[in-house]
Amino acid sequence: MNKLPDFISLIQASIRGLGAPVLLMMLLAMMILPLPPLALDALFSFNIALSLVIVLAVVYVGRPLELSVFPTVLLVVTLLRLALNIASTRVVLLEGHTGTGAAGKVIEAFGDFVVGGNYAVGLVVFAILVIINFVVVTKGAGRISEVTARFTLDAMPGKQMAIDADLNAGVITQEEAKTRRQDIREEADFYGSMDGASKFVRGDAVAGILILFINIIGGVAVGMAQHDLTLSVAMHNYTLLTIGDGLVAQIPSLLLSSSVAIIVTRVSSMQNLGDQVVGQLFGHTQVLAITGGILTVLGLIPGMPNFAFLTLAALCGGGAYLVHKRDSAPAVEEQPEQQASSEPAELGWQDIPQVDAIGLEVGYRLIPLVDRNGGNELLNRIKGVRKKISQQIGFLVQPVHVRDNLELSPNTYRVVIMGVPVAEAEVHIDRDLAINPGQVFGKLAGIPTKDPAFDLEAVWIEPAHREHAQTLGYTVVDTSTVVATHLSKLIQHHASDLFGNQEAQQLLDRVAETSPKLVEDLVPKSLPMSVLLKVLQSLLNEKIPLRNMHKIVETLAATATHSQDPDTLVGQVRIALGRSIVQQISGLREELPVLTLDPELAQLLQNSLQTPSADGSSYGGPGFEPDLVERVHSALKDGAKRQEAAGETPVLLVEPRLRSWFARLARHSLPNLNVLAFNEVPDDKPIRMVATVG
């Protein structure tokens, strides 16, 4: 018994799926098989009713996209009407000699009652309907559809960029951005389909004219030649039948043309057409009052239809009074609420702002750089920065929240990481920055400064001097590039601060998609999430990307059973990622040029390390003398400068026990120095010792 509802649902779904094929078969049958007059009456009545339903649906719909099926419905209804024309033409030509009721009661009613049985009047009425439909409604709707489709397609890139800018600035969420992009695609598809569907309506109007002449000429010829009717009788019978048939077809056609015109001229709103018309045309007191006054003056002129004008004037005056009363009533009712709202509201959690992960604050002169109506140049660059850094470091960087700050100098911007300002610089929106890369062949006139990202000598120059600066060897960039580059460097430098529990869990979830058992055995069975987070943050501090998260999880799972010390776990992960670390430093070079420690200095430093812990898993901090540390730091700085001068990346190769200490020493004072342990270098990578630090 439980399967019966499912079976019924399956049957209903199958029946609904047969609707379109059955309808097409019916249209084909109507064109081929002769239909009795009773069937024609039913189908013509259904056609008129369907046209009325479509017009009312267009009037009451809030947004055109809510009726996205309209172009397809328009095509089907047009085919239905053409099929009815073929079926009625067949009946008119075969049975028209019997009288005006040969094609059914509907055609007879339109031929006799509507035009009074006078085919001359019928021809005039039909001609007027065709002119209104073809020349006015259909032509205008077709033009509007074409222009709207073209403008909608041209505006798509700008709308997509606006959505991306809002997403990057944190104004909307990823789901909202996806919904808005889908709306833009549906809007373009809808108006493109309407542009084509309007051609069907136009062709239908032309077909109605041709069918009229074919039926009259063919009917008169058939009646006189085959049924021996006189010319007057043949003209009377076949012309009235043809006019009735034409009117039955043209009235639904005019309704559909009007619905096309209405929907392509609608502006998206959450109100239906009736509410919009009443609210926008009759919702202003001045409009109704002035109209009532003019109608009153016209009604008092002798010889005018005084009763009609004065009645309309009274209606306009009454409407103006009601609108004025409606507009003034809410102000009186809301006055107590406004007085109550002046009292201070109770403090709540919503009054405490949350800290943004990444923030960019700009002075008021830099607002055009982040203005969404000004091209979104900086916002687009920030989006590119987020994408590039996320791909490099292996996790999704949070959106950058951009806001103006009147406390800053007009040309100053500030970068905030986790609520803490980390950098501040001054730029000029109307100038370009010419950066001295180290070797230039002249001086430039401008405002001397330093590149905020790399602290290189630079000059703010006029845009007209850009080519001249480039010929002198300067690297010239615009203001947006300066800000975006500085932001990129700061995000990379503070990657560990931006990495939290949520990001760690997301990385684990991605690994679990392919290796669920591996993640399950690691967290929380072997390693707490807090220790894993500290290990990953340490790797980011040492510029190790988290792209190969599967390898990192494998290594931690194998090591966590022996040690829970973060430094030990970081060392094991670095060994596992040794090949990629060396590749990141040296690229495709065959040899790895390195600095090494003098054996006596290395032995002295190792002896200075405190004794290992009880389980032997870690060592305490080194007990070095300050003077020794200063001399080691100075020697490392000199060696790193020599390597950089030779065009090589500075690398220090040390014992595994010393690597973490030297890495912390170099992190802040020697950021370009890479510290490697001996066991991190692959066995097949040749090493070339450049100098010894002693």
Q: Which of 362, 272, 285 is nearest to 320 (CA)?
A: 285
* Residue 455, token pair as written in the block: 């602290």
Residue 344 pLDDT:
60
pLDDT, average across residues 443-469 = 92
Q: What gap in Å lies between CA 117 and CA 112, rounded to an integer?
A: 4
Map tokens 């239908």 to a residue: 204
Q: Which helix (H) or strand (E) holds 691?
A: strand 687-693
* Per-residue pLDDT at 619 exceeds 60: no
* Cross-strand pairs, 458: 435, 449
Sheet containing 687-693, strands listed edge to edge, beginning at the edge strand earlier in sequence: 674-677, 651-654, 592-597, 687-693
Residue 420 main-chain phi, psi, to 5 deg: -115, 125
Q: What gap in Å lies between CA 474 and CA 375, rounded to an integer?
A: 27
Q: What gap in Å lies between CA 247 and CA 127, rounded to an integer?
A: 10
Q: Band of the pLDDT at 7, cuts 50, 70, 90?
A: low
* Per-residue pLDDT at 146 exceeds 90: no
* Residue 397, token pair as written in the block: 């960087």
Burial call 246-282: b when 16+ CB within 10 Å, e when fewer? bbbbbbbbbbbbbbbbbbbebeeeeeebeebeeeeee
* Per-residue pLDDT at 57 exceeds 70: yes
Helix %, strand %, coil % of the chain (to 5): 65, 10, 25
Q: Band of the pLDDT at 10, cuts 50, 70, 90?
A: low
* Residue 581, token pair as written in the block: 């670390």
Burial (CB count <10 Å: 0-12, 13-18, 19+), residue 690: middle
Q: Band of the pLDDT at 540, cuts 50, 70, 90?
A: very high
* Per-residue pLDDT at 169 exceeds 80: no
User: pLDDT higher for 167 or 260?
Assistant: 260
- Give per-residue pLDDT as tens, 67-103: 778 888 888 888 888 888 788 778 777 776 776 666 6
* Per-residue pLDDT at 51 exceeds 60: yes
pLDDT, average across residues 613-637 = 65
- Within 8 A by CB and 6+ apart from 419, the residues are 355, 356, 359
Concatenating the DSSP letter of every residue in 260-300 gives HHHHHHPPP-SS-HHHHHHHHHSS-HHHHHHHHHHHHHHHT
Q: What angle do CA 649, 652, 657 make, to 5 degrees?
A: 150
- Give per-residue pLDDT as tens, 499-538: 999 999 999 999 999 988 888 888 888 888 889 999 999 9
Q: What gap in Å lies between CA 539 and CA 545, rounded to an integer?
A: 7
Q: Which of 272, 152, 127 is nearest to 205 (CA)?
A: 127
Q: Please give, one letter per residue, the 3-state secondary structure of 368-393.
A: HHHCCCCCCHHHHHHHHHHHHHHHHH
Residue type, 354: Q
User: pLDDT higher for 634 or 209?
Assistant: 634
Q: What percent of the chain lies above the pLDDT cut of 90?
A: 20
Q: Would you state the torsion angle of the CA atoms of residues 73, 74, 78, 80, taken in this order, to the nearest 10 degrees?
A: 10
Q: What gap in Å lies between CA 497 and CA 300, rounded to an integer?
A: 82
Q: What gap in Å lies between CA 204 and CA 208, rounded to an integer?
A: 6
Q: What gap in Å lies between CA 345 and CA 249, rounded to an integer?
A: 66
Whether pTM exceeds 0.75: no
Residue 1 pLDDT:
46
- DSSP category for residue 347: P
pLDDT, average across residues 143-157 = 74
- Give per-residue pLDDT as tens, 210-269: 877 777 788 888 788 887 777 878 777 777 777 777 777 778 888 888 888 787 776 555
* Residue 44, token pair as written in the block: 């013509």
pLDDT, average across residues 202-206 = 74
Residue 331 pLDDT:
44
Residue 259 pLDDT:
82
- Within 8 A by CB and 6+ apart from 268, the residues are 62, 63, 64, 65
Lowest mean pLDDT, pick from 99-113, 130-144, 297-311: 99-113
Q: What gap in Å lies between CA 682 and CA 666, rounded to an integer?
A: 23
Q: What gap in Å lies between CA 244 and CA 104, rounded to an integer?
A: 10
Concatenating the DSSP letter of every residue in 430-462 gives TSEEEE--S--SS---SEEEE-TTT--EEEEE-
Residue 694 pLDDT:
75
- DSSP category for residue 689: E
- DSSP category for residue 564: -
- Within 8 A by CB and 6+ apart from 107, the residues are 40, 44, 88, 92, 241, 244, 245, 248
* Per-residue pLDDT at 336 exceeds 60: no
Residue type, 287: V
Average pLDDT for the chain:
80
Q: Band of the pLDDT at 427, cuts 50, 70, 90?
A: very high
Q: What gap in Å lies between CA 659 and CA 609, rounded to an integer?
A: 12
- Within 8 A by CB and 6+ apart from 209, the residues are 130, 134
Residue 269 pLDDT:
52
pLDDT, average across residues 572-600 = 89
Q: Band of the pLDDT at 618, cuts 50, 70, 90?
A: very low
| Dihedral sign, Cα of residue 610, residue 611, residue 614, residue 616 | positive
Residue 281 pLDDT:
67
Peptide bond into 524 cis (omega under 30): yes
- Per DSSP bridges, beta strands 592-597 and 400-404 are unpaired
Concatenating the DSSP letter of every residue in 155-207 gives HHHHHHHHHHHHHHTTSS-HHHHHHHHHHHHHHHHHHHHHHHHHHHHHHHHHH
Lowest mean pLDDT, pick from 208-217, 459-468, 603-612, 629-638: 603-612
Residue 332 pLDDT:
41
* Residue 329, token pair as written in the block: 């009533």
Q: Is 624 left (phi over 0), alpha (psi -120 to 50) or beta?
A: beta
